[in-house]
Amino acid sequence: MSDRSSAAGTVLAITGAGQGIGRGLALAFARHGARAVVVTDLDGAAAQAVAAEVRALGAEAIALRVDVTRAPDCAAMAAAACDAFGRLDVAICNAGISQVRPLMELDGEDFDRMMAVNVKGAFLTLQAAARRMLEQPPLAPGRPRGKILTMASIAGRSGAGPIASVIAPYRASKAALISVTQSAAYTLAPHVTVNAMCPGLVATDMWARMDRDWTALQGVPAGQAWAQRVAAVPMGRPQQPDDVAGLALYLASPASDYMTGQSINIDGGLMMS
């Protein structure tokens, strides 16, 4: 990997890193030369386990239990990075939840919970990270002071097909997160870049739960919803956390320093624009 596309020496913090995409991101950055990773999750034990995996790959790591819906927790995450490693180069607002429930059965609490974690939580994480980044010197002469990545989804785009009828709050939260990302990018430029990643069908526990719940509603065997969705992917396979990590590594690198306010599909071709 060339210097321009490298995240070597990076200090980063990742929310929701105890499993799934977040864990994959933490390990990928460690493999690609990150100096340190602040691993956070609502499940403190899971965060500790991933931090141990990061250390085994040669990077420094600390683990924190963080509830992203609480501003003090998000501030503590950013402070921990700066106190332990002197700065916070990259923050990845990854923590999120999903739900499968028919549109006409939803109530206000379904939306409240989804928006609290997926939108408010990402915003509070972003805000806490940005406050620290704006106080620190640039990553290098002529570079930003820091980079923030949010975890949106192609679910926040138009369409989505039949599954749209059972994931309305999730889709709304991801569309809102894309909007928040754009507002933050405009506000923080040119000092901090902010971009959203929009994965598709990632083979994680979250999608396994979504398949279980959706197939139960349809009265079909478990796994069938997942198989049908994967069959529509032009690249011919489900997505892995490492596929998302490839984009994250690019966005964290000098090669993307002129990119901000973008929401980028990384989905094997499900959405083309």
Report the alpha-carbon distance of residue 149 to residue 13 in Å, rounded.
10
Which amino acid, 94? N
Active centre residues (catalytic): 170
∠62-66-70 over CA atoms, to 5°?
145
Bridge partners, 263 (sequence order)? 196
Q: Is residue 185 within 8 Å of 195, Cβ to Cβ? A: yes
Query: Which residues fall within 8 angstroms of residue 50, CB to CB, at 6 or more apart?
Result: 17, 18, 19, 22, 23, 26, 27, 39, 41, 61, 63
Report the alpha-carbon distance of residue 37 to residue 51 in Å, rounded.
8
DSSP state of 157: S
Report the alpha-carbon distance of residue 197 to residue 187 in Å, rounded.
19
Query: Which residues fall within 8 angstroms of residue 242, CB to CB, at 6 or more apart?
Result: 24, 28
Phi, psi of 137 (to 5 degrees): -70, 165
The closest alpha carbon to 245, from 86, 20, 2, 4, belongs to: 20
Which amino acid, 123? F
Report the alpha-carbon distance of residue 198 to residue 174 in Å, rounded.
9
